[in-house]
C-alpha cells in the first residue's frame, strides 16, 4: 500500500493504482477488514490529492463502511472528515453536511484533540443547531 501511495504522490498514477489494487486484493483474499479499510481510505486520500474527486469519494465511502462494521469509530470519523471535504469540492453540499454531522457524532467524546479542533472550525449544520461539544 505504501508504495502505491508513494507512486501516486510522484505522479505515476497507473503504477499507483496497480499497486493499491494489488494491496486491496491481498487484503480481500484473506478477509482482512482492517487492511481493506486502510487501503481504500489511503487510496481515497491519494486520489483526492491528485484531484480525482469522484474516485476519492467512492474509495473513502468504501473505507468508511468497512471501519463502521468493525466499530472503529475514530478511523471511520477521519474517513468521513475526508469525505466531507471531497463532497464539498464536488459541489455536493447536502452530502458534505451529512458527512460533517456523521463525523461529529462518530468523534464526540473520542478525546481526539485534532478532530475536535478540525470540527470546531466548521460551521453548525444550521442556525438552530449547534455541533456536539
Using the Cα atoms of residue 105, residue 107, residue 108 and residue 113 in order, give the sign of their dihedral.
Answer: negative
Q: For residues 129 and 17, what is the distance between their CA atoms, to the nearest angstrom?
A: 41
Q: What pLDDT is recorded for position 56?
A: 97
Q: What is the pLDDT of residues 17-33, one digit of tens each?
A: 999 999 999 999 999 99
Q: For residues 19 and 27, what is the distance between their CA atoms, to the nearest angstrom?
A: 12
Higher pLDDT among residues 77 and 124, named by residue: 77
Question: Is 50's pLDDT higher than 50?
Answer: yes
For residue 132, what pLDDT band results from cuts at 50, 70 and 90?
very low
Grid cell listed for 24: 486491496
Domain locations along the chain? 2-120
Grid cell listed for 122: 466548521
Class of domain 2-120: mainly alpha
Q: For residues 20 and 7, what is the distance between their CA atoms, to the nearest angstrom?
A: 10
104 DSSP 8-state letter: H
Q: For residues 37 and 81, what is the distance between their CA atoms, to the nearest angstrom?
A: 15
Task: Classify the phi-psi angles of 112: left when phi > 0, otherwise alpha if psi is within -120 to 50, otherwise beta.
Answer: beta
Q: What's the predicted TM-score (pTM) here? A: 0.86
- % of the chain at pLDDT higher than 70: 92
Q: What pLDDT is recorded for position 124?
A: 52
Which range (4-8, 63-67, 123-127, 129-133) has the least confidence? 129-133
**Mean pLDDT, range 4-20, rounded to an integer:** 93
Q: What is the pLDDT of residues 80-130, one digit of tens each?
A: 999 999 999 999 999 999 999 999 999 988 888 998 888 888 765 544 444
Amino acid at each position: 500500500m505504501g508504495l502505491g501511495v508513494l507512486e501516486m504522490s510522484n505522479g505515476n498514477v497507473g503504477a499507483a493504482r496497480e499497486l493499491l489494487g494489488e494491496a486491496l486484493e491481498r487484503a480481500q483474499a484473506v478477509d482482512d477488514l482492517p487492511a481493506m479499510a486502510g487501503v481504500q481510505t489511503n487510496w481515497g486520500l491519494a486520489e483526492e490529492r491528485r484531484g480525482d474527486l469522484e474516485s476519492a469519494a467512492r474509495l473513502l465511502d468504501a473505507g468508511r463502511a468497512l471501519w463502521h462494521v468493525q466499530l472503529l469509530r475514530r478511523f471511520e470519523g477521519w474517513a468521513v472528515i475526508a469525505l466531507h471535504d471531497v463532497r464539498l469540492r464536488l459541489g455536493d453540499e447536502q452530502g458534505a453536511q451529512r458527512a460533517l454531522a456523521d463525523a461529529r457524532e462518530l468523534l464526540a467524546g473520542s478525546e481526539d484533540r485534532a478532530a475536535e479542533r478540525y470540527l470546531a472550525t466548521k460551521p453548525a449544520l444550521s442556525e438552530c443547531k449547534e455541533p456536539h461539544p
